[in-house]
Amino acid sequence: MGTIIDGKALSLSLKEEMKERIINLENEYGRKPRLAVIIVGDNPASRSYVRGKINAASFVGMDSVLVELPEDVEERKLLETIDNLNRDENTDGILVQLPLPRHIDEEKVIDSICIEKDVDGFHPGNVAKLWLGRKCIIPCTPKGIIKMIESTGIEISGKKAVVVGRSNIVGKPVAKLLLDRNATVTIAHSRTRDLAQTCREADILVAAVGKPNMIGADMIKPGAVVIDVGINRIPTIREDGTEGSRLVGDVDFDSAAGIASFITPVPGGVGPMTITMLMENTIECFLSRQ
């Protein structure tokens, strides 16, 4: 049985360190880092993510503000809200929870966040810097994934890494971060011909697809490090016959854990680390503005 990379425990220890750091920052600069989170509409998943982010900010002792806008808010009003936060001296990080309602141009919104306050690292300016190898704000989920791999103590340099998924928020940036650490990286996607064989070659396998349990033990090289980014809610029937649901990853954890050397669980793996990296990014934005 592989060792579980406990994202919850790793997050907690990082957040405890941040608590100390924020006290010191306040003493040194006379104020704490401040994160602004904007949510549009009532999507239950988005609400729950946002709650997690605000709770984490309060846990580490950071200031935060939640801006709630109605589902039918005009794009102009959202851009105006961002502009005010861009200008606000005391706001260090701005995050707009995605996805946004259809009538709002997501790209326009991301582009409007001032690059120094772009805690998600989604602004094209930050993306360009990441790919150029310049100092930048690194997107939270990929950053957390690298921390989890590094926590195992394995050497990334020279290893074969396979990232399944090529989204802008997970697959592509995590592939670049692995490349920066001298892994030989393959990015697989829905058109990859023999996905199972590609995955079996990986010393480090990152699954970021959004398909419940699609990566089974037969797709994993013995001893591989497996990072499961997927968050999939599947329906279940409770003992009393009522309908419920539970979260599963993209990796079939029960079979994969028997063959991997290290593996992340879902829930309790990449999810908590993503939020913790958001806190870290907010501190970095705060420092870069001093």
Is 120 annotated in the active site?
A: yes
* Cα-Cα-Cα-Cα dihedral sign, residues 52, 53, 59, 64: negative
Q: Cis peptide before 272, with omega less than 30 degrees from 0?
A: no
Answer whether 177's CB lies under 8 Å from 277's CB: no
Catalytic residue among 32, 92, 97, 203: 97
Interacting span for ligand NDP (CB under 6 A) from 86-94, 118-126, 128-136, 163-171: 163-171
State how far the Cα of 80 lies from the Cα of 118, in Å rounded to an integer: 16
Active-site residue, 97 included:
yes
Q: Which of 10, 62, 95, 169 binds ligand NDP (CB under 6 A)?
A: 169
Whole-number Å distance between alpha carbons of 31 and 23: 9
Minimum Å distance from CB 133 to ligand NDP? 22
One-letter amino acid of 18: M
Catalytic residue selected from 32, 53, 143, 221: 53
Three-state SS for 207? strand
Q: Which is nearer to ligand NDP, 160 or 166 (CB)?
A: 166
53 is catalytic: yes
Does residue 170 bind ligand NDP (CB under 6 A)?
yes
Verify binding: residue 51, ligand NDP, rule CB under 6 A: no
- As a whole number of angstroms, the distance between CA 98 and CA 280 comes to 20
Least separation, in Å, of the C-beta of 145 and ligand NDP?
Answer: 9
Residue length, the chain? 290
Sole binder of ligand NDP in the list 19, 160, 166, 289 (CB under 6 A)? 166
Is residue 146 at the binding interface for ligand NDP, with CB under 6 A as the rule? no
Is residue 183 within 8 A of residue 207, CB to CB? The reply is: no
Q: Does 109 bind ligand NDP (CB under 6 A)?
A: no
One residue of 11, 91, 213, 274 binding ligand NDP per CB under 6 A: 274
Q: At residue 182, what is the residue type?
A: N
Work out whether 95 is an interface residue with ligand NDP (CB under 6 A): no
Q: Which of 97, 112, 223 minimizes the C-alpha distance to 160?
A: 223
Q: Which residues are catalytic?
A: 53, 97, 120
Binding site for ligand NDP (CB under 6 A): 141, 164-167, 169-171, 188-192, 195, 208-211, 229-232, 270-271, 274
